[in-house]
């Protein structure tokens, strides 16, 4: 392994220069890692394309299948970085005298190479063989290149982190099937929970920091709820709580606008679904923790006459929170609720098919959260309780499924029955959340038969 100085702070923001003695060490290291990547790639048997094709295929797969749920990268930057991976001649190193507005500094070049190779390793390791025809061992080759390059500038990266510092480590963790604990620690140290801390001269960088934090927050809540590890990003240790906004003033798109499949409202719709999924996951994680706490207390404290009243109050509180959790389903936008529902004749069929796949990815992920909750104690409050409140919540869920699936000619008897149940809940339930959800579903039912 090449010998690399531990600290490169003084040179990090200068355009790389082969003539600059310390800088040339890092440039040589980059060339060495790049050469090894190309050599190992070319030695593999059974490849269906060259390096550039494989890298673009990885970006394509990420944008269509993973970006809808993890929109943590800027597509044009990813595609621009692919040019660093291939070719007999190494990329040109910007001049220190007149670098130009688009020139990469040394660290920017290293980070971009590390980011693209991390993405390729991540994608190849997670997508099924039906989507990626090349050997799975390619992921090892890309991961080694990405990890080796990160190691080259890691000391500087930890002292001066940016959005790639987070994204690269998350993709490395996915490849290695590790938790994102180290990345969460870095985000906490960067104070990304604070809106004021993500201000950068580059709007793209500010956007990437914002969305990377929210993705980490989502992953953190899920891992803590499922007992993967203790919490790191915790509202209680943030000075004023989490003040980061879901959406800031930045308006630079993440998707490549030159691609026909990205036309229309695809990006804005993806982010609506992403933030809804984040809220659902956070609510589910909190509820799972409370259910586990309730179960532990019940095991260590056998029920008695004195405790029965308090236990009932706790159970009703859990049911109330469960109702608010299931009410988030009502916020699922129509393009995610029914991804195949867009029949606009002005939209090209290939574009429609691509965007439909994006929304199916979001829908599947959101519904998986609800199904997974059943395995973590939700059956106690979903319908296996004699509480009237629990029974009412189960009725609402059944009606919600019915309203979602109602198409074409109405089934008159079922519609009457559903309407009667909703009216009963509206007039007889003492619970405000039950009445609110019943009203939402009743309005949805009316909209089907009395369109505005």
Helix (H) or strand (E) holding 224: helix 203-225
DSSP, collapsed to helix, strand or coil, labels residue 265 as: coil
Q: Read off the tokens for 436.
A: 């609110």
Report H helices in 261-348.
266-300, 305-327, 334-337
| Pick from 79-93, 175-189, 367-381, 430-444: least confident | 367-381
| Separation CA 435–CA 126 (nearest Å) | 43
Percent of the chain with pLDDT over 90: 36
The pLDDT, as a whole number, for residue 448 is 65
Task: Report the pLDDT value the prediction gives residue 9, as an integer from 0 to 100.
Answer: 40
- Four-point Cα dihedral 331, 369, 293, 392, nearest 10: 50
Distance CA 254, CA 281 (A): 23
pLDDT for 4 equals: 39
pLDDT at 269 over 90: yes
Inter-CA distances, 285 with 7, 66, 130, 216, 232, Å? 40, 22, 33, 14, 14
Structure tokens, 323: 């109702």
DSSP-assigned letter for residue 339: G
- pLDDT for 427: 83
Q: Is the pLDDT of residue 367 over 90?
A: no
pLDDT at 418: 72
For 148, phi then psi, to 5°, come to: -65, -40
pLDDT (0 to 100) of residue 1: 39
So what's the pLDDT on residue 419? 78
Rounded average pLDDT over 196-225: 88
Q: What is the pLDDT at residue 404?
A: 59
Inter-CA distances, 59 with 32, 321, 388, Å = 24, 39, 51
> In this predicted structure, what is the pLDDT of residue 150?
96
Q: What is the mean pLDDT of residues 416-441?
A: 81
Q: What is the pLDDT of residue 110?
A: 92
Q: What value does the mean pLDDT of the chain take?
A: 80
pLDDT, tens digit, for every residue of 75-101? 999 999 999 998 766 666 644 344 455
Q: How many CB atoms lie within 10 A of CB 413?
A: 8
Residue 225 has pLDDT above 80, yes or no: no
**pLDDT value of position 390:** 58
Q: In the predicted model, is pLDDT for residue 238 greater than 70?
A: no
Question: What is the pLDDT at residue 12?
Answer: 44
Residue with tokens 């309005």: 443
Token pair 């959005």 is found at 163
**What pLDDT, in 10s, does the model give residues 297-312?**
777 776 666 667 777 7
Is the model's pLDDT at 406 over the cut of 60?
no
Q: Count other Cβ atoms within 10 Å, centred on residue 164.
A: 23
Q: 441 or 152, which is more confident? A: 152
pLDDT at 124: 94
pTM assigned to the model = 0.77
Residue 14 has pLDDT above 80, yes or no: no
Tokens of residue 133, six digits: 């025809």
- DSSP code per residue over 30-94: HHHHHHHHHHHHHH-SS-SS-HHHHHHHHHHHIIIIITTT---S-HHHHHHHGGGT--SSPPPPP
Per-residue confidence (pLDDT) for residue 26, from 0 to 100: 82
For residue 268, what pLDDT is reported?
94
- pLDDT higher than threshold 80 for residue 21: no
For residues 327 and 310, which has the higher predicted lDDT (pLDDT)?
327
Question: How many CB atoms within 10 Å of residue 162?
Answer: 18
Question: What are the angstrom distances between the C-alpha of 275 and each of 82, 196, 217, 366, 407?
Answer: 29, 20, 11, 11, 28
| Mean predicted confidence (pLDDT) in 46-70 | 93
- What whole-number distance in Å separates Cα of residue 96 and Cα of residue 100? 9
User: 263: part of which helix (H) or strand (E)?
Assistant: none
Structure tokens at 228: 């993967």
Residue 11 has pLDDT above 50, yes or no: no
Average pLDDT over residues 426-435: 82
pLDDT on residue 344: 77
């Amino acid at each position: 392994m090449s010998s690399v100085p531990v600290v490169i702070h003084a040179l990090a923001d200068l355009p790389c220069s082969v003539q600059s003695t310390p800088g040339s060490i890092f440039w040589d290291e980059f060339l060495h890692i790049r050469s090894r990547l190309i050599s190992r790639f070319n030695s593999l048997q059974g490849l269906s394309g060259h390096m550039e094709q494989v890298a673009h295929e990885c970006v394509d797969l990420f944008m269509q299948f993973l970006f809808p749920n993890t929109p943590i990268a800027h597509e044009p930057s990813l595609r621009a970085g692919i040019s660093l991976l291939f070719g007999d001649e190494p990329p040109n190193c910007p001049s220190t005298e007149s670098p130009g507005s688009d020139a990469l500094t040394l660290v920017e070049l290293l980070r971009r190479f590390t980011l693209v190779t991390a993405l390729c390793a991540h994608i190849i390791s997670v997508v099924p063989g039906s989507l990626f025809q090349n050997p799975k061992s390619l992921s090892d080759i890309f991961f080694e290149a990405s990890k080796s390059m990160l190691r080259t500038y890691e000391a500087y990266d930890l002292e001066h982190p940016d959005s790639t510092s987070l994204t690269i480590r998350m993709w490395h963790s996915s490849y290695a099937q590790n938790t994102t604990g180290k990345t969460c620690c870095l985000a906490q140290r960067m104070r990304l929970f604070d809106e004021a801390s993500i201000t950068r001269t580059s709007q793209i960088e500010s956007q990437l920091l914002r969305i990377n934090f929210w993705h980490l927050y989502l992953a953190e809540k899920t891992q803590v709820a499922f007992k993967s590890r203790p919490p790191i990003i915790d509202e209680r240790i943030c000075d004023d709580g989490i003040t980061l906004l879901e959406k800031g003033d930045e308006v630079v798109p993440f998707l490549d606008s030159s691609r026909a499949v990205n036309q229309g409202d695809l990006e804005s719709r993806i982010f609506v679904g992403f933030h809804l999924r984040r809220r659902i996951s956070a609510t589910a994680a909190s509820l799972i923790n409370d259910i586990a706490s309730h179960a532990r207390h019940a095991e260590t404290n056998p029920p008695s006459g004195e405790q029965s009243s308090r236990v009932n109050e706790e159970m009703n509180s859990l049911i109330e929170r469960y109702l608010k959790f299931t009410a988030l389903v009502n916020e699922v936008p129509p393009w995610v609720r029914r991804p195949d529902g867009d029949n606009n004749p002005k939209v090209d069929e290939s574009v429609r098919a691509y965007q439909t796949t994006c929304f199916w990815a979001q829908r599947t992920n959101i519904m998986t959260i609800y199904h997974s909750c059943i395995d973590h104690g939700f059956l106690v409050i979903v319908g296996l309780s004699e509480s009237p409140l629990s029974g009412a919540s189960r009725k609402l869920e059944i009606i919600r499924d019915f309203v979602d699936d109602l198409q074409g000619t109405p089934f008159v008897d079922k519609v009457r029955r559903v309407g009667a149940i909703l009216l009963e809940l509206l007039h007889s339930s003492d619970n405000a959340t039950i009445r609110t959800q019943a009203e939402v579903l009743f309005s949805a039912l009316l909209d089907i038969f009395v369109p505005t």
